[in-house]
Amino acid sequence: MKIGSIVINCYAFDDMLAFWQEALHYIPREPAKAGWVVLCDPEGKGPNLSLNQVPEKRTGKRSRLHLDLYTNDHSNEVERLINLGAIRYPWRYHPDADFVVLQDPDDNLFCVIQKENVL
């Protein structure tokens, strides 16, 4: 068994589609239709990321689902994601933390983690 798709319910569908497509260099499996799209790794190595449009912004408790994005170029990737529309989330980091917590355009949290030999 493996992860087939990670689904993110989102209000800002077009912004989320543009952000995650650029962030991961994924492509739509089929054109987005009726607020739904499945983004795929063009090399077939990573899990799919699906976006499902919902009628209103999330309120209250944050989702327990998030992504850990591994990279061997932590600083540049964090900066690239911020330039695409992510923002830094105020987190209490330990001195030896190998990750940064960011928010995507729809306020979902995710981590960018320094890992060697990722690619």
Structure tokens given for 38 = 């499945």
Sign, CA dihedral 53-81-21-116, equals negative
Write the pLDDT tens digit of every residue in 60-114.
766 767 898 889 998 999 999 999 999 999 988 888 888 899 999 998 888 898 8
**Alpha-carbon gap, residue 119 to 87, rounded angstroms:** 25
Domain 5-55+65-114 has CATH 3.10.180.10: yes
